[in-house]
Amino acid sequence: MNDTARHTRQGGPSARRIWLRNGAIWLALMALFGISLGSAYLDVGDASPILRLGIAIVQVVILWGLFMDLRRSSWLVRLCAVTGVFWLIFMFSLTFGDYLTRNWNGSGTSLAPYATRNGAGERGAYPQDRLPLAPQYGPRE
């Protein structure tokens, strides 16, 4: 259950505490932003997208955990929050499963020599032009 404690004006945090407590988190987020921006100009090579996205993910975790109060939320709310993320993982992995394997061209199977598309197979053209036709179709013209 969401334990939003019902502070009264007397018993609860003062305005100053609210500003300071959240200001510290704000500083952390701005610092990470600064690092991300600065590192964009450094030549870190291939690690660059990982670094930038990694920093973004850390910022998001801080934002979700502290500003969106997931740290104090019920397990149900947290489940809701991660479900969207999980579904994105499903979408990305299966979609990239297509795109990253498009050039494989039957490698690892017996059809590799007949692979087409990028002409990777040494037989070159589409298999049905090279393999013999089934008997009922007679000789190839």
Residue ranges that bind other proteins, judged by CB under 8 A: 1-2, 4-9, 12-13, 15, 18-19, 21-23, 25-26, 29-30, 33, 36-37, 40-43, 48-49, 52-53, 55-56, 59-60, 63-64, 66-69, 73-74, 76-77, 80-81, 83-85, 87-88, 90-92, 94-102, 104, 106
At 33, the amino acid letter reads F
Nearest to 120 by CA among 111, 128, 133: 111
d(Cα 22, Cα 15) in Å, to the nearest integer?
11
Task: Report the candidate in 55, 68, 1 with the shortest Cα–Cα distance to residue 29.
Answer: 55
Nearer to other proteins, 41 or 137 (CB): 41
CB of residue 10 to other proteins, shortest distance in Å? 10
Q: Residue 8 Cβ, how far from other proteins at the closest point, in Å?
A: 7
Q: What's the one-letter identity of residue 10?
A: Q
Q: Between residues 16 and 139, which has the closer beta carbon with respect to other proteins?
A: 16
Encoded tokens for 61? 């975790």
